[in-house]
Amino acid sequence: MNNAELIEEAQYIIRPQAGPQTQFLSTPVDICVYGGSAGGGKTYGLLLECLRYIDNKDSKVLVFRREAKQVKNPGGLLSVSRQIFPRFGGTFNMQNMAWTFPSGATVTFSHLNTEDTVYSFQGAQVSAILFDELTHFYESQFWYMLSRLRSESGIAGYVRATTNPDSDSWVAKLIDWYIDEDGYPIAERAGKERYFFRRNDQIFFGKNPQELLAKGAESEDVKTFTFIPATIEDNKILLESDPSYMSNLRSLSEIEKQRLLYGNWKVKQTGNIFKLEDFNNYIVAPELTFKAIFVDTASKDGAKNDYSVIHLWGLGEKGIYDIDQMRGKWKYSELKSILNAFLAKHSDINALYIEDKSAGIPLIQEIKATTSYPVKPIPRHTDKYSRAYQCTGYVESGRVFLNPSSRYYTDFVAELSSFSADKKGFNHDDQVDCMMDAIEQMLIKRKPSAANKLDVSSFLTKI
């Protein structure tokens, strides 16, 4: 090397980025699944993991993609490894698809193209197995390959895997404890170590080994597991070097954007009524001629019950606009207090519509008894499917506008995409109910006059 090359080499530092990538490379568990959205630094983190034991002559690492051609994809395992491994003395054999390091340690790229390909590894002994894009593999392949974790290296065999979200995959079930009901990772559970054992194709998790031993596990059966989520926001280097990548993800269809940009593990187009591509988006609302708050109340405030929703919609020249929303599982007293605050925030509304059932009934009665506020009860005389069928034409014609920058947008579109008449594939429909009420009152029925702005001051002081 000449002096310039030596200076360049000295300035080249290989290390994980702070955050999930460092957490992934620091976890001591037997099995770690890492990832979420696209661009989170998963492949780079996986290749850095390959370097952990390169000074051990008996270290043998297997790295899998589902198909052989995926290993050679631009920006994939092979091309990125060429940027890293030679700096540690690695030499590559294209025929064997294997890197060999000065100590004799090896890292081999391979594939499991068919479900039975695993049997070509019978007799293999490796110290670590790494899967890139775990949801692409069969569950049977994953568990079979664990039986190849044995070697004379002194390294306790372990598994690392990267993945993007797939709500229908076996991986989604494996990491379910780490994912909230809205499909997003639970922050405080990220990287938390769990104990498990597997018996007769069933996985049993426990808080500690003793709990699993009591369930019939042998001590050697108990393993540790964790899930570490990551998004493109965690990959500062990519965002600096290629700012357009974020824009590319934003341009995806709504379902794919929720998965690959935001890392949602439960969103999918299971509904048979509303299609997300039919909704329009807006950032700044136009002039609105009518504003109304719609309140959908839950019968109970338990964890498994529906939410109560307070939703503000506005009527413009081109259709109705989603303006603001509050959603929660509240006791009646909390519902009143939150509605009070919401009305104070949006005091220029023209109407307040409240569902005439559940907690809405006493709320309507109390407003009528204590104020002159002209609340409008909304009865429920038709089933959800009939109501939805009446609304679909307005959605399909682009008359309903959503705001993708709102704090509740991801929850809202997830509910819209899964909403179906038979209530299969979705858990809640409270936000959809409010939207349908808005379509019915502001588009289907005759447009009310905007001149009749309401004075909410008496309501705010008395409820």
Return phi, psi of residue 278, to 5°. Answer: -85, -15
Residue 291 CA to residue 316 CA, distance in Å, equals: 9
Domain for residue 342, yes or no?
Answer: yes
Domain for residue 398, yes or no?
Answer: yes
Helices (H), 220-331: 236-241, 244-250, 254-260
Pick from 234, 18, 46, 55: which is nearest to 130 by CA? Answer: 46
Pair 308, 449 in one domain? yes
Pair 319, 378 in one domain? yes
pLDDT in tens, 69-96: 999 988 889 999 999 999 999 999 999 9
Pick from 98, 163, 109: which is nearest to 132 by CA? Answer: 163
Q: Which is more confidently placed, 133 or 243?
A: 133
CA angle 230/63/40 to nearest 5° reads: 15
Indicate the pLDDT class of residue 307, thresholds 50, 70 and 90: confident
Burial of 259 (0-12, 13-18, 19+ CB in 10 A): buried
pLDDT in tens, 366-410: 888 877 667 899 887 777 777 887 888 899 889 999 999 999 998
Q: Which is more confidently placed, 301 or 201?
A: 201
Domain for residue 264, yes or no?
Answer: no
Pair 151, 289 in one domain? no
Pair 76, 217 in one domain? yes
Domain for residue 253, yes or no?
Answer: no
CATH assignment of the domain containing 446: 3.30.420.240
**Is the per-residue pLDDT at 132 higher than 70?**
yes
Domain for residue 200, yes or no?
Answer: yes
What's the number of domains the chain is made of?
Answer: 2
Residues 42-62: what's their mean pLDDT? Answer: 95
- Cβ contacts of 269 within 8 Å, gap of 6 or more: 255, 275, 276, 417, 418
pTM above 0.85, yes or no: no
Q: Which is more confidently placed, 435 or 152?
A: 435
Pair 154, 302 in one domain? no
**Is the per-residue pLDDT at 64 higher than 90?**
yes
Pair 342, 216 in one domain? no
Domain for residue 283, yes or no?
Answer: yes
pLDDT in tens, 250-297: 888 777 888 888 888 887 655 568 888 899 999 999 999 999 999 998
pLDDT of residue 426: 47
Domain for residue 263, yes or no?
Answer: no
- Tokens representing 371 are 């104020």
pLDDT in tens, 167-187: 889 999 999 999 987 788 999
Pair 327, 216 in one domain? no
Pair 142, 79 in one domain? yes
Torsion from C-alpha of 368, 371, 375, 379, nearest 10 degrees: -20
pLDDT in tens, 188-224: 999 999 999 999 889 999 999 999 999 999 999 999 9
Residue that terminates a domain, selected from 213, 237, 261: 237
Pair 357, 412 in one domain? yes
**Is the per-residue pLDDT at 163 higher than 50?**
yes
Pair 97, 186 in one domain? yes
Pair 213, 286 in one domain? no
Residue 54 CA to residue 105 CA, distance in Å, equals: 5
CATH assignment of the domain containing 34: 3.40.50.300
Name residue, tokens 């990551």: 230
Residues 137-149: what's their mean pLDDT? Answer: 93
**Is the per-residue pLDDT at 4 higher than 90?**
no
Return phi, psi of residue 378, to 5°. Answer: -115, 110
Pair 286, 181 in one domain? no
Residue that terminates a domain, selected from 196, 213, 237: 237
Residue that terminates a domain, selected from 221, 237, 253: 237
What residue numbers bound the domain in which 138 lies?
3-237
Domain for residue 76, yes or no?
Answer: yes
Q: How many CB atoms within 10 Å of residue 155? A: 18
SS3 197: strand
